[in-house]
Amino acid sequence: MQTILETSRLLLRDLVPDDLDFVATMLAHPEVNRYYERQFDRYDAEVWLNRQIERYRRDGHGLWLALDRETGTPMGQVGLAIQEVESVSHPEIGWLLHRPFWGRGYATEAAAATRDAAFNRWLYEHR
């Protein structure tokens, strides 16, 4: 699997169907999905994962799997997703970390790399 972005502690890569167990576990955690409209089950997690794969195809990016660079342990998702706001498409940096990895600066680190790639790789305009 190809690495999309790297930071000092993380590798970000496209999600693949084999990542479903991790995604389902992460999305089922009540603190992780606290602000979503419902508790996610395995089916919902599969829909979520497939939505990211479709974003890669359609937009060239989406939310990627964030892995610990040294161990390869999945830690969450961080990436660049297109969101529709008042019928206008906008790139948005999004992140969702599994609860055991909160509070260590991983989201900030990955979001900064994603921001830089949004401007330099995907050539989104500064607004």
CATH number of 3-120, picked from 3.30.460.80, 3.30.70.260, 3.40.630.30, 3.10.20.30: 3.40.630.30
pTM of the model as a whole: 0.92
Q: What is the pLDDT of residue 37?
A: 85
Residue 1 has pLDDT above 80, yes or no: no
- Secondary structure (DSSP) of 21-88: HHHHHHHHSTTTTTTSSS---HHHHHHHHHHHHHHHHHHS--EEEEEETTT--EEEEEEEEEEEETTE
Please write the tens of the pLDDT for every residue from 63-107: 999 999 999 999 999 999 999 999 999 999 999 999 999 999 999
- Any idea where the domains of the chain sit in the sequence? 3-120
Mean pLDDT of 101-126: 95
